[in-house]
Chain A
Amino acid sequence: MPATEHRIAAATGTFGRTRAALEVAGGRTDSRLVFAVAGVCYLAAYLVTVGDLAVVDGGSGRLTVRTAADFSRAFVSLGFFRFDAIAILSAGPITYLFSPLNVLLGLSLGALVGANLALTYLGVVQPRACGLESSTGVLAGVPALVSGAACCGPTILLVVGVQASATIVTGFQFLVPIAFAMLIGSLLLVGRKVDPELL
Chain B
Amino acid sequence: MSDTPTRRAVLAALGAGAFAGCLGGSDGSTTQRSPETEAPETGGDTTTASTATPERPPVPTVDERLPLPMEPASIEDNAVSGGPPKDGIPSIDDPSFVAAASASEWLNPGDPVFGVTRGEETKAYPQSILVSHEICNDVLDGTPVSVTYCPLTGTAMGFERGETTFGVSGRLVNNNLIMYDRATETWWPQVLSTAIPGPWREDPQIQSLSQFRVVWTTWERWSSAYPDTTVLSRNTGFANNYDGDPYGSYNPRSGYYQPDSGTMFRSLSDDDRLEPKRVVIGTRTSEGAAAFEKRALRDQKVLHGALGDTPIVGVYEPTLDTGYVYRNPDEEQYEYRDGQVVDAAGEAHDPTGLPGERLLALDAMWFAWSGFYPDTTLYASD
Contact A169 B9, beta carbon cutoff 8 Å: no
* B200 contacts partner chain A, Cβ-Cβ < 8 Å: no
The residues of B that contact A88 with a CB separation of less than 8 Å are: 239-241
* A73 contacts partner chain B, Cβ-Cβ < 8 Å: yes
Contact A77 B18, beta carbon cutoff 8 Å: no
Q: Of the listed stretches A21-29, A31-39, A156-164, name the one at the interface; the rest are far from the partner chain.
A: A156-164
Asked, given contacts A79-B83, A169-B80, A177-B21, whether A189 binds B237 with beta carbons under 8 Å apart, the answer is no
Within the assembled complex, what's the spacing in Å between the Cα atoms of A105 and B24? 11
Contact B239 A155, beta carbon cutoff 8 Å: no
Q: How far is the CB of A12 from chain B (nearest CB, A)?
A: 10
Of A51, A97, A155, the most chain B CB neighbours within 10 A belong to: A155
* A113 contacts partner chain B, Cβ-Cβ < 8 Å: no
Q: How far is the CB of A151 from chain B (nearest CB, A)?
A: 7
The residues of A that contact B9 with a CB separation of less than 8 Å are: 14-15, 185, 188-189, 192
The residues of A that contact B262 with a CB separation of less than 8 Å are: 161, 163
Contact A195 B8, beta carbon cutoff 8 Å: no
Contact B81 A177, beta carbon cutoff 8 Å: no
Say which residue of B6, B14, B237 sits within 8 Å of A13 (CB atoms).
Answer: B6
Q: Which of B117-168 contact A (CB under 8 A)?
A: 152
Within the assembled complex, what's the spacing in Å between the Cα atoms of A167 and B77? 15
The residue of chain B having its C-beta at the shortest distance from the C-beta of A174 within the complex is B21
Q: Of the listed stretches B39-47, B85-93, B291-299, B339-347, name the one at the interface; the rest are far from the partner chain.
A: B85-93
Interface string of A74-113 (1 = CB under 8 A from B): 0011111100111110000001011101000100000000
Within the assembled complex, what's the spacing in Å between the Cα atoms of A84 and B83? 14
Q: Which of B223-241 contact A (CB under 8 A)?
A: 235, 237-241
Say which residue of B25, B36, B244 sits within 8 Å of A77 (CB atoms).
Answer: B25
* B246 contacts partner chain A, Cβ-Cβ < 8 Å: yes
Asked, given contacts A14-B5, A56-B244, whether A180 binds B16 with beta carbons under 8 Å apart, the answer is yes
Asked, given contacts A151-B83, A153-B82, A169-B83, whether A69 binds B241 with beta carbons under 8 Å apart, the answer is no
Within the assembled complex, what's the spacing in Å between the Cα atoms of A44 and B362? 41
* A181 contacts partner chain B, Cβ-Cβ < 8 Å: yes
Q: How far is the CB of A135 from chain B (nearest CB, A)?
A: 15
The residues of A that contact B256 with a CB separation of less than 8 Å are: 158
Q: How far is the CB of A49 from chain B (nearest CB, A)?
A: 12
Say which residue of A86, A158, A178 sits within 8 Å of B247 (CB atoms).
Answer: A158
Contact B13 A184, beta carbon cutoff 8 Å: yes
* B17 contacts partner chain A, Cβ-Cβ < 8 Å: yes
The residues of B that contact A95 with a CB separation of less than 8 Å are: 241, 243
Contact A181 B247, beta carbon cutoff 8 Å: no
Contact A73 B238, beta carbon cutoff 8 Å: yes
* B357 contacts partner chain A, Cβ-Cβ < 8 Å: no
Asked, given contacts A163-B264, A177-B20, whether A188 binds B5 with beta carbons under 8 Å apart, the answer is yes
Contact B239 A177, beta carbon cutoff 8 Å: no
The residues of A that contact B255 with a CB separation of less than 8 Å are: 158
Contact A51 B5, beta carbon cutoff 8 Å: no
Within the assembled complex, what's the spacing in Å between the Cα atoms of A66 and B208? 40
Asked, given contacts A77-B25, A181-B14, whether A87 binds B83 with beta carbons under 8 Å apart, the answer is no
Say which residue of A56, A84, A154 sits within 8 Å of B243 (CB atoms).
Answer: A56
The residues of A that contact B244 with a CB separation of less than 8 Å are: 51, 54, 56
Say which residue of B6, B16, B84 sits within 8 Å of A153 (CB atoms).
Answer: B84
The residue of chain B having its C-beta at the shortest distance from the C-beta of A168 within the complex is B265
Interface string of B17-36 (1 = CB under 8 A from A): 11011011101000000011
Contact B87 A76, beta carbon cutoff 8 Å: yes
Contact A184 B36, beta carbon cutoff 8 Å: no
* B52 contacts partner chain A, Cβ-Cβ < 8 Å: no
Contact B14 A164, beta carbon cutoff 8 Å: no
The residues of B that contact A142 with a CB separation of less than 8 Å are: none
The residues of A that contact B238 with a CB separation of less than 8 Å are: 68-69, 73, 84
* B322 contacts partner chain A, Cβ-Cβ < 8 Å: no
* A42 contacts partner chain B, Cβ-Cβ < 8 Å: no
Q: How far is the CB of A96 from chain B (nearest CB, A)?
A: 9
Q: How far is the CB of A88 from chain B (nearest CB, A)?
A: 5
Contact B239 A152, beta carbon cutoff 8 Å: no
The residues of B that contact A14 with a CB separation of less than 8 Å are: 5-6, 8-9
Contact A184 B16, beta carbon cutoff 8 Å: yes
* B263 contacts partner chain A, Cβ-Cβ < 8 Å: yes
Say which residue of B5, B12, B235, B264 sits within 8 Å of A157 (CB atoms).
Answer: B264
- Mark A residues whose CB is within 8 Å of B: 13-15, 51, 54, 56, 66-70, 72-73, 76-81, 84-88, 95, 97-99, 101, 105, 150-155, 157-158, 161, 163-166, 169, 172-174, 176-178, 180-181, 184-185, 188-189, 192-193, 195
Given contacts A14-B9, A77-B85, 10 further A-B contacts (CB under 8 A): A14-B6, A67-B239, A76-B88, A77-B25, A78-B84, A79-B170, A84-B90, A177-B24, A181-B13, A181-B14
15 pairs from A and B in contact (CB 8 Å cutoff): A15-B9, A70-B36, A76-B87, A76-B88, A77-B24, A88-B241, A95-B241, A98-B239, A152-B83, A152-B246, A153-B83, A154-B83, A180-B20, A185-B13, A192-B5
Closest CB pairs A-B (n = 4):
A181-B17, A69-B237, A85-B239, A79-B84
